[in-house]
Amino acid sequence: MDIDGISHHISRQYNEELEEVRNKVLQMGGLVEQQLANAVKALEEDDAELAEAVVMTDYKINAMEVDIDEECVQILARRHPAASDLRLIMTVIKTITDLERIGDEAERIGRMAMKLDKTEKLNSTLAAIGHMGNHVRVMVHDALDAFARTDAESALKVWREDKRVDKEYEGIMRQLMTFMMEDARSIPAILDLLWSVRSLERIGDRATNICEYVMYLVKGKDVRHTSIEHMELEILGKKE
């Protein structure tokens, strides 16, 4: 094999390594999404068995994080990635941290679902929590989809969704606070639900983190902690 052939061979291997890391992130994301869906379903349907399954599965997500992290270190050490390849590795390192923490939040919701004592009165609130849970799950899904397609515009679109999630959060919080004020004995049970809703709100925040990493990956600029107007200018090239 001549020199060109060898360097072509190496670069193909390198591309395969990057592709493998990218795929592993998406696999990890798929499991996180499933955990989140199951945790919310367990809460909504008062399904203690499903809730326990969520709690018991979290270790898989943790193992995936450690594995992908290790792979990134290997690539940094052996391949010395530059430019967009280096940004990809940085994006992966940060994204999997948020995915792992989303997994932790799903586990927390699972724990709450295990001890939930469902009453008739809670039905409509649980339905609203289910709706919010689905909303943040779709956000996580779409953020990872934007990552898979390195699509900054989609990432920005998902990022914007978080405002709607925050509104849902506030509505449910008001409802839960009313229940507590009406019936002091319900306070401990309601507090568990409160923590779960807070977890969902945090998951929405983490999905926006992933969106910011994707915008960085595509544009090569760090848009964290800037205004929405600044992001739109960077991503869409215009002020809306």
Minimum distance of a second copy from residue 181's CB (angstroms)? 5
Q: What is the largest CA-CA distance in the chain?
A: 81
Q: Is 107 exposed, middle or buried (0-12, 13-18, 19+ CB in 10 A)?
A: buried
Nearer to a second copy, 134 or 226 (CB): 226
Cα 74 to Cα 178: distance, rounded to the nearest angstrom: 53
Residue with tokens 């849902």: 168
Element (H, E) at 214: helix 187-219
Site for a second copy in 101-160 (CB under 8 A): none
Binding mask 25-64 for a second copy (x = CB under 8 A): ----------------------------------x--xx-
Residue 163 half-sphere exposure toward CB, CA atoms < 13 A: 5
Contact between 177 and a second copy per CB under 8 A: yes
Contact between 66 and a second copy per CB under 8 A: yes
Binding mask 86-105 for a second copy (x = CB under 8 A): xx--x--xx--x--------
Minimum distance of a second copy from residue 177's CB (angstroms)? 6
Cα 233 to Cα 159: distance, rounded to the nearest angstrom: 15
Residue range at the interface with a second copy (CB under 8 A); choices 23-31, 49-57, 130-138, 222-230: 222-230
**What Å distances lie between residue 203 and 95, 200, 208, 219, CA to CA?**
13, 5, 9, 24
Footprint on this chain of a second copy (rule: CB under 8 A): 59, 62-63, 65-66, 69-70, 73, 76-77, 80-83, 86-87, 90, 93-94, 97, 177, 180-182, 184-185, 187-188, 191, 194-195, 198, 222, 224-225
